[in-house]
Copies of this chain bind each other. A is one copy, B any other.
């Protein structure tokens, strides 16, 4: 039995969003499961001395905005640049880990809903209230979600997940690990597919 594919991402990462719309179906075609692991790119960038694509130099920022949209069209995924971008994603990531402790399927559904809220419906998912609304839309109890977002347990959990990701060499989003092999970027989907198909190349 193969280990699950690990999918590291930040909820404000456009390429992470594109990967989120593709990785489960791709894995399923090869009988594989995927473990989703939201992290905070702010923590990752601080540790590595890096910066978001749109806050590097102007030519790269301009290209990145164009490439986000074109890559979404290429992959057939609905996308628009959020009004606020990038933004902090603690509330969404903590909600994900809280749900994951109870029901993996619900956590996955929430992750898709949060990503689509940001990149399709242009909602400000940095706001805990918005995250509570998104969770409520999936039938979850508003008060319990609001409490989880502010809980020390989930703050510690997210911090530990970020540290774990850094220890594994994660430096951006999306970062996918298949059989110990790291693949960085939504543009590595064809290589991931070939890896799954051939068992390594």
Contact = CB atoms under 8 A, between A and B. Distances in A.
A30 interface: no
Contacts of A59: 48, 169-171
B188 A187 contact: yes
Interface stretch (A34-42, A67-75, A84-92): A67-75
A56 interface: yes
Interface residues of A, number: 28
A171 B63 contact: yes
A184 B48 contact: no
Copies of this protein in the complex: 2
A133 B63 CA distance: 38
A82 interface: no
A101 interface: no
Contacts of A169: 59, 62-63
In the A-B complex, the 4 residue pairs with the smallest Cβ-Cβ separation, listed nearest first, are A187-B187, A48-B57, A59-B171, A59-B169
